[in-house]
Amino acid sequence: MKKITVGAFLLSMMFVGVNAQSLKSPDGKFEMNFQLKGGVPYYNLKYNGNVVVEDSKLGLRLFKDTSIKFASEIAKPEDAKFDLNNGFTKTDEKRDSKNETWQPVLGEKKNYINNYNELAVTLNQASADRNIIVKFRLFNDGLGFRYEFPQQKNLNYFTIREEDSEIDFPTDLKAWWIVADYDSQEYKYQETKVSEIPARWPQAADANASQTLIKNAVQSPVMLKKEGKDPLYINVAEAAVLDYPASHLEVDAQNFKFKTHLTADRQGAKGYIQTPSVTPWRTIIVSPKAEELMASKMIFNLNEPTKYKDTSYIHPTKYMGVWWEMIIGKSQWAYAQPESNVRIGQTDFSKLTPTGKHAANNTKVKEYIDFAAENGFKGLLIEGWNIGWEDWFGHSKEFVFDFITPYPDFDIKMLNEYAHSKGIKLIMHHETSGSATNYERWADKAFQLMNKYGYDAVKTGYVGDIIPRGEHHYSQWTINHFYRIAEKANEYKIMVNSHESVRPTGESRTYPNYISAEAARGTEYEAFGGNNPDHQTILPFTRWMGGSMDYTPGIFQTKLDYYFPGDTRFVKTTLVKQLALYVTMYMPLQMAADLPENYKKHMDAFQFIKDVAADWDDTKILSAEPGDYVITARKAKGTENWFVGGITDENKRDYTVDFSFLDKGKKYEATIYEDGKDADYINNPQSYNIYKKQITSKSKINFKMVRSGGFAVSIKPVN
Amino acid sequence: MKKITVGAFLLSMMFVGVNAQSLKSPDGKFEMNFQLKGGVPYYNLKYNGNVVVEDSKLGLRLFKDTSIKFASEIAKPEDAKFDLNNGFTKTDEKRDSKNETWQPVLGEKKNYINNYNELAVTLNQASADRNIIVKFRLFNDGLGFRYEFPQQKNLNYFTIREEDSEIDFPTDLKAWWIVADYDSQEYKYQETKVSEIPARWPQAADANASQTLIKNAVQSPVMLKKEGKDPLYINVAEAAVLDYPASHLEVDAQNFKFKTHLTADRQGAKGYIQTPSVTPWRTIIVSPKAEELMASKMIFNLNEPTKYKDTSYIHPTKYMGVWWEMIIGKSQWAYAQPESNVRIGQTDFSKLTPTGKHAANNTKVKEYIDFAAENGFKGLLIEGWNIGWEDWFGHSKEFVFDFITPYPDFDIKMLNEYAHSKGIKLIMHHETSGSATNYERWADKAFQLMNKYGYDAVKTGYVGDIIPRGEHHYSQWTINHFYRIAEKANEYKIMVNSHESVRPTGESRTYPNYISAEAARGTEYEAFGGNNPDHQTILPFTRWMGGSMDYTPGIFQTKLDYYFPGDTRFVKTTLVKQLALYVTMYMPLQMAADLPENYKKHMDAFQFIKDVAADWDDTKILSAEPGDYVITARKAKGTENWFVGGITDENKRDYTVDFSFLDKGKKYEATIYEDGKDADYINNPQSYNIYKKQITSKSKINFKMVRSGGFAVSIKPVN
């Protein structure tokens, strides 16, 4: 396929003229040019002199420029005079730069470097006497830009019809993408050319518990690659999505062009803005090396430092959970018959007939506590502890949970005391069923209960359609809800791990207690229909770019026919690949998701999960290719211990680890976990070898990963 | 105009057959018949043997009969198989009756009589194996019916597409109505034939701050009259609208038929139902006498008794307010420039430039306290006391108020202490700007502040479009919000007077602290465009049928050119008519709305407002005709004092009060307030006479009311 708009491409060649503003990255490799063409703002981006992004249009369309008086105005036809995308003249230009080092509360490295040159162009729209600023920050790893709306006479309140930020690539790129949706990110990754996205789109959009698909659009972040002899890896995403809808990317397959598409509310509005205000940053991370791109912290750098006064309560935790057994269907969240009709505050749950399948019962929870404590875990998640699960989903029920009342067989006081006596903190679970209004009503009482019993982390959930009805998981209102809950949790010194919420875009810098989100297909999908073997090699290039994910690895018993004879479901991984995920996937609240009974059968392999850290002083992406493999080394926080993990896709693969990242002259003992020679993710997933070896920074070890296999190494200094 | 459906009319003549169920009122005057015709439920209503309501269809249409899994299903085409309006067979019939006397916490009489015969018909829909119950209650003043949905295997959750309860009148009736709207009841009453409603509808729908009009439909309650030699007054309304949308009445002008039209949410859904559940009651109050109809307590009787454990804090109060001067534009709610862009929690209001027009300042409030205390009032409302009024309206701003932070010139502690030292309680004001989600977030803190400073009543406000965006003032979610706030206020022992909320439908029986609502054009509209002189003669037949209204009477200075030379606005009333409203309009939180300076000029007339009660042991509607006049006598709670008020429309009118309602043999001193001979609501509104007279139960006094005038009498026993 050949790009049609050759004219426009040629035009971009003429771009840098007297009217253009040029900005270079600190290392000089990137160059961004901004120009008004006929009053319309454009930018482009070059790397080492080559065009990465052609002249691409900027601007927003509005419903009305000053105020929205009545909802009926939302429905009025488009009126170009309200738009902020034309008729501009440049009235000011400000430059700035920064080179700072900052420490994340929890992170992949001790220090994150925030180094950029900045250009802020003030544009005046004479017809309406309005000013906006387009701000560009050019880092050594790419470009971020956003719109800023100063408070001014003619721009105080407005409602966005659409943000039309274009990213126009000169050639057809390879893309790793999932379908765009206002309510779910839980889709299988596709690997196609940009030009092939529309043809693939329909089959890529499978069913989901709550979904509002946007045809021919893809989710942000999208991972791209210019193939050939000078490959270039490109990640298109956004940063600091706060008080604004999350964006998707409309695909112009003919022209290899993306354009923002914001999540609408039920009125079709895409953001209610009061000035002064700024949009999220649109980000384009670029590197000739996949490893460097994956290591980029640009999205975090584009977020604001936290204003929290105390972050001392925020800590990494490895946890187990009464969870996987419900996911696979062995036990259940509900105490009584699921899909029964119950009412919080009216139904006497102690009088319901228990099905005997309720997992969160005193006996079972104590067994989990015992096992978790014996193996050095500090946390135990328990789902299904509170009343309401009988009819929690699918009924658009607003008052579905109260978050404070345990089931009759869950003695919250006794269990917490028992857990604390063994050094375990229970992890709270607040499933909202999407009923955000109800959660806001109960949040204070729910967090007070957590404080009372010593819970310091909560897993929140938003399965199903959002209430307020008509809002979406990624619309402005709901995003505000997520961070409102984070702030309230901070008041109670509680960490949040949020599921079915919007993908993080670096907000953990600002809200460091908002540890992670789910926002992609996690391990649970292995029980729902399966993840592809390459899934975990793509996630670090997409979902993880803006923040950690609660992927819940650690499944040793991958075949579900173990539980249910004849069941064909299985987790598409070798056992060793599951170990490697603890290193390739950054997650400070890291789960060991399988059942104790399965770990007990492989205590030698389980040792790696017991040993591995969840927070890091350093991270080295040794080698990576989206959709193929990821090899990562990390240095555990405050120690000299290193961990290495390698995973591969559906293809077997050799990789030789060069341990030169270790301290010179030091001796280490490496414990090596590798796929057995006869291991196979379909036929023999539990075959592995474990051995120890003395290594130094000069060592090299070749690992043979079977298809969907991996390796893991635990490294400790010897004396 | 002749009704077209003669066939249907004849059919109804054949109605009472072997398959029909008949129900009679306790006094035998009413007869209701229920019948299935081809599996479709119908009812009719007769009074003294004459058809009042012809055979009228019943039923509901649903989106889906068991559950709503995804919002997208809301948009699916209609599917008759989900509906609950056909294919029924009768499987059971239960009869019941009640004759009880109950005491409202606050009311127009000491005792309300609840006397009815009941018929509950169970209908089975074989195709879906679902049962519903249609329950009829026939009182001596009319009919109520509702649908009941027992919890059952095939009916646990459903979403209503529409309730299609018809009320089919045999002839063209006279109607007093306002246009139907999902967000406002603040319209001018129209007086037309039912057949003329569609032609009048467009001009009856004037602009409003938040409106979602329903073409050719009218609001409930609608007041009707069969004219002729045997006149019949008919009121069509609803009762106990809880966890359900408020209904409107679609008009079939050709067939003189009304049909329910429920308030939709933004998804088009009209009620998310979990069984067991009941709908509100559809009510048809009928009487040959307008006075008897107006006195009906049927709508209250159809509500449930309160579950509140303590109602001792609920008490009547006459209050003044720092209010009218803002309404007319003399001063303002905002401290700084209105329409400035401010942010709660960020803007330092003490650093803004005050305009000097902020009414709720320490000096002015103390003056109001002094005047109110000197004249025996117990309450003082202050609006505009809290930060956020600069940009409170029209921007779809969610966090518009925090309800706890006073403006810099309002010393909440000092003013409350000052007020309490003089026997005054300040009345709190919580304007939400329609942002109900925000109010719910702050409600606890707001009520705690009220408890701290000794406020025991709050006026709430919902001006503008509702947030959650897409919800309406009368949709199920928002109605649940109103009563959720009532329940929360009860926890704090606080009384609620709610403005721009849904009209009450008798809920004060269940939520006795929810004293009143606005839900119609009140006095404020006199400053916004004017009420018609007959407005207050229609309200008691419509808006007031389900609960009291905060009409805020008592305007002595009716001409606004007094404040603003050349201003043509004026309150369309004589001064004496304003006095009479305190009797004709029942309101336990009753306001004297004018400025102290105006009362000071007419202290003799003001004496009536000082004397009049706000809660009653007895009420006699002496004479009334919708759109023409209302003459009411009431006996003050716990005393032997009576008050009589009479008002007329745009026509002057004589009325002779027969005082035979007074105790026989007792002597009374009557203080009489009447329009001056030269009084005129346009040219000379402040002309009045006041005199005293000894009266007994045998006395009769003739009053001459000028156009839009009235009279008022204060009666005390002499020893």
Give the pLDDT confidence of A340-367 residue by residue, as tens digits. Answer: 999 999 999 999 999 999 999 999 999 9
Q: With 80 as the cut, is the pLDDT of residue B436 above it?
A: yes
Omega into B221 within 30° of 0, i.e. cis?
A: yes
What's the start-to-end Cα distance of chain B, in Å?
Answer: 61
Residue A524 known to be catalytic? yes
Q: Please report the pLDDT score of residue B490 as a whole number.
A: 98
Q: Does B267 touch chain A (CB under 8 A)?
A: yes
Q: Please report the pLDDT score of residue A69 as a whole number.
A: 45
Interchain CB distance below 8 Å, A437 and B441: no
Q: How far is it, in rounded angstroms, from Cα A358 to Cα A340? A: 14
- Say if residues B547 and B510 touch (Cβ distance below 8 Å): no
The region of weakest confidence among A159-173, A689-703, B62-76 is B62-76
Nearest to A47 by CA among A360, A291, A306, A286: A286
Given the residues A507, A524, A625, A674, the one annotated as active site: A524
Q: Please report the pLDDT score of residue A339 as a whole number.
A: 83
Closest CB to B341 among A151, A272, A398: A151
Q: With 50 as the cut, is the pLDDT of residue A11 above it?
A: no
Q: Please report the pLDDT score of residue A529 as a whole number.
A: 78
At B464, is the secondary structure helix, strand, or coil?
coil
Which residue type is seen at B582?
A: Y
Interchain CB distance below 8 Å, A157 and B395: yes
Nearest to B21 by CA among B104, B96, B106, B95: B95
Rounded average pLDDT over A514-526: 96
pLDDT band, residue A78 (cuts 50/70/90): low
Q: Which tokens go with A296?
A: 């980029």
Helix %, strand %, coil % for chain B, to 5? 20, 35, 45
Q: Please report the pLDDT score of residue B702 as a whole number.
A: 98
Interchain CB distance below 8 Å, A267 and B469: yes
Nearest to A225 by CA among A236, A215, A217, A238: A236
Q: Where are the beta strands (DSSP E) in A288-350?
A: 317-322
Percent of chain A at pLDDT exceeding 70: 95
At B426, is the secondary structure helix, strand, or coil?
strand
Please state the ipTM of this predicted complex.
Answer: 0.94
Strand partners, A435: A467
pLDDT band, residue A77 (cuts 50/70/90): low
pLDDT band, residue B77 (cuts 50/70/90): low
Distance of CA A370 to the CA centre of its chain: 32
pLDDT band, residue A266 (cuts 50/70/90): confident
Q: Does A277 touch chain B (CB under 8 A)?
A: no
Nearest Cα of chain A lies from the Cα of B130 at a distance, in angstroms, of: 16
Q: With 90 as the cut, is the pLDDT of residue B451 above it?
A: yes
Q: What radius of gyration, in Å, describes the C-alpha atoms of chain A? A: 26
- A vs B, Cβ pairs < 8 A, gives 120
Q: Please report the pLDDT score of residue B683 as a whole number.
A: 96
Give the pLDDT confidence of A380-421 residue by residue, as tens digits. Answer: 999 999 999 999 998 899 999 999 999 999 999 999 999 999
What DSSP state is assigned to residue A670?
Answer: E
pLDDT band, residue A333 (cuts 50/70/90): very high
pLDDT band, residue A76 (cuts 50/70/90): low
Q: How far is it, in rounded angstroms, from Cα B304 to Cα A463? A: 36
Percent of chain A at pLDDT exceeding 90: 90
CB-CB neighbors (< 8 A) of B391 in chain A: 156-157, 274
Q: Please report the pLDDT score of residue B7 as a whole number.
A: 43
CB-CB neighbors (< 8 A) of A209 in chain B: 70
Q: Does A468 touch chain B (CB under 8 A)?
A: yes
Residue of A nearest to B208 (CA): A70
Q: How far is it, in rounded angstroms, from Cα B51 to Cα B44? A: 8
Q: Which tokens go with B356?
A: 């000097």
Q: Does A211 touch chain B (CB under 8 A)?
A: yes
How would DSSP label each residue in B545-560?
A: GGS-B------S--BG
Nearest to A580 by CA among A557, A599, A555: A555
Nearest to B403 by CA among B329, B319, B488, B338: B488
pLDDT band, residue B11 (cuts 50/70/90): very low
Q: Please report the pLDDT score of residue B243 as a whole number.
A: 98
Q: Which residues in A144-172 are b (16+ Cβ under 10 Å) and which e?
A: bbbbbbeeeeebbbbbbbbbbbbbbbbbb
Q: With 90 as the cut, is the pLDDT of residue A665 above it?
A: yes
Percent of chain B at pLDDT exceeding 70: 95
- Strand order from edge to edge, sheet including B514-517: B514-517, B495-498, B457-461, B425-431, B379-382, B317-322, B589-592
Q: Does A35 touch chain B (CB under 8 A)?
A: no
Test mutation, A63, A66, A67, A70, chain B, max B CBs within 10 A: A70
Q: How far is it, in rounded angstroms, from Cα A624 to Cα A294? A: 8
Query: Given the DSSP bridges, would you call strands A174-177 and A190-193 parallel, antiparallel or unpaired?
Result: antiparallel
- Give contacts of B 657-686 with A, CB under 8 A: none
Percent of chain B at pLDDT exceeding 90: 90
At B595, is the secondary structure helix, strand, or coil?
coil
pLDDT band, residue B12 (cuts 50/70/90): very low
Q: Please report the pLDDT score of residue B3 as a whole number.
A: 59
Helix %, strand %, coil % for chain A, to 5? 20, 35, 45
Q: Please report the pLDDT score of residue A80 as a whole number.
A: 72
Q: How far is it, in rounded angstroms, from Cα A423 to Cα A54? A: 57
- Say if residues B563 and B525 touch (Cβ distance below 8 Å): no
Q: Please report the pLDDT score of residue B119 as a whole number.
A: 98
Nearest to B193 by CA among B177, B216, B174, B176: B174
Nearest to B453 by CA among B427, B479, B490: B427
Q: How far is it, in rounded angstroms, from Cα B258 to Cα B56? A: 10
At A548, is the secondary structure helix, strand, or coil?
coil
What DSSP state is assigned to residue A358?
Answer: B
pLDDT band, residue B719 (cuts 50/70/90): confident
Which residue type is seen at B633?
A: A
Q: How far is it, in rounded angstroms, from Cα B111 to Cα A532? A: 73
Interchain CB distance below 8 Å, B468 and A210: no
Sort B129 into a burial class: Cβ within 10 Å, 0-12 / 13-18 / 19+.
exposed
pLDDT band, residue B70 (cuts 50/70/90): very low
Q: Which residues in B588-620 are b (16+ Cβ under 10 Å) and which e?
A: bbbbbbbbbebbeebeebbbbbebbbbbbbebb
Give the pLDDT confidence of B548-581 residue by residue, as tens digits. Answer: 999 999 999 999 999 999 999 999 999 999 999 9
Q: Does A315 touch chain B (CB under 8 A)?
A: no
Q: With 90 as the cut, is the pLDDT of residue A209 above it?
A: no
Q: Please report the pLDDT score of residue B224 as a whole number.
A: 98
Residue listed under structure tokens 């009216």: A346
Return phi, psi of residue B196, to 5°: -95, -5
Rounded average pLDDT over A459-476: 96
Q: With 50 as the cut, is the pLDDT of residue A68 above it?
A: no
Interchain CB distance below 8 Å, B469 and A468: yes
Strand partners, A45: A32, A53
Q: Please report the pLDDT score of residue B69 as a whole number.
A: 45
- Count other C-beta atoms under 10 Å from residue B89's C-beta: 11
Test mutation, B154, B274, B277, B396, chain A, max A CBs within 10 A: B396
Q: Which residues in B297-334 are b (16+ Cβ under 10 Å) and which e?
A: bbbbbbbeebebeeeeebbbbbbbbbbbbbbbeebbbb
Which residues contact residue B38 at a Cβ distance below 8 angstroms, ignoring those fewer than 6 apart?
none
Q: Does B210 touch chain A (CB under 8 A)?
A: yes
Q: Does A159 touch chain B (CB under 8 A)?
A: yes
Q: Please report the pLDDT score of residue B68 as a whole number.
A: 47
Q: How far is it, in rounded angstroms, from Cα A402 to Cα B113? A: 39
Give the pLDDT confidence of A106-138 residue by residue, as tens digits. Answer: 999 999 999 999 999 999 999 889 999 999 999
Rounded average pLDDT over B303-322: 98
Q: How far is it, in rounded angstroms, from Cα B307 to Cα B312? A: 13
Nearest to B162 by CA among B243, B235, B245, B81: B245
Q: Does A152 touch chain B (CB under 8 A)?
A: no
- Cα B646 to Cα B333, B607, B653, B710: the distances in Å are 34, 17, 10, 5
Q: Please report the pLDDT score of residue A210 as a whole number.
A: 84
Rounded average pLDDT over A238-255: 98
At B325, is the secondary structure helix, strand, or coil?
helix
